[in-house]
Amino acid sequence: MSEKETVAVNILDKEYLVASPEEEKGGLEQSARYLDEKMREIRANGRVFGTERIAVMAALNITHELLQRSDMPASAEATLQEIDRRVSEALENSHKETG
């Protein structure tokens, strides 16, 4: 099992610290960039307000995209659950910092 390190990712101009195995750091950073892009698209659309609501809409859109893929590997569900856990943890930590 590899050692975890803290990775800083920026989403909608806010920094989140996420624990990640070293070999998954690049994938995590790529995922954060993709999420940031999707959230910026939703915010620019102007119909959804508030970072939390934008994040939920982005998560729904991304999940829908993934579920529409016919070539999705069987391990995708576990991967999506891990991503969901990490996003929830980061949002929870963010609320603690600003709360």
CA distance linking residue 9 with residue 36, whole number of Å: 10
Residues near 93 by beta carbon (within 8 Å), at least 6 away in sequence: 16, 17
Mean pLDDT value across residues 70-90: 72
CA distance linking residue 45 with residue 80, whole number of Å: 26
What pLDDT is stored for residue 70 in this prediction? 63
Q: Please choose, from the candidates 89, 20, 2, 13, the residue with its C-alpha nearest in 3D space to the C-alpha of residue 51.
A: 13
Contact by Cβ (8 Å): 3, 22: yes
Residue-wise pLDDT for 6-32, tens only, equals 999 999 999 999 999 989 999 999 999
CA distance linking residue 36 with residue 70, whole number of Å: 25
Mean pLDDT value across residues 26-48: 91
pTM: 0.66
> Domains plus CATH for the chain?
4-98 (3.30.160.880)
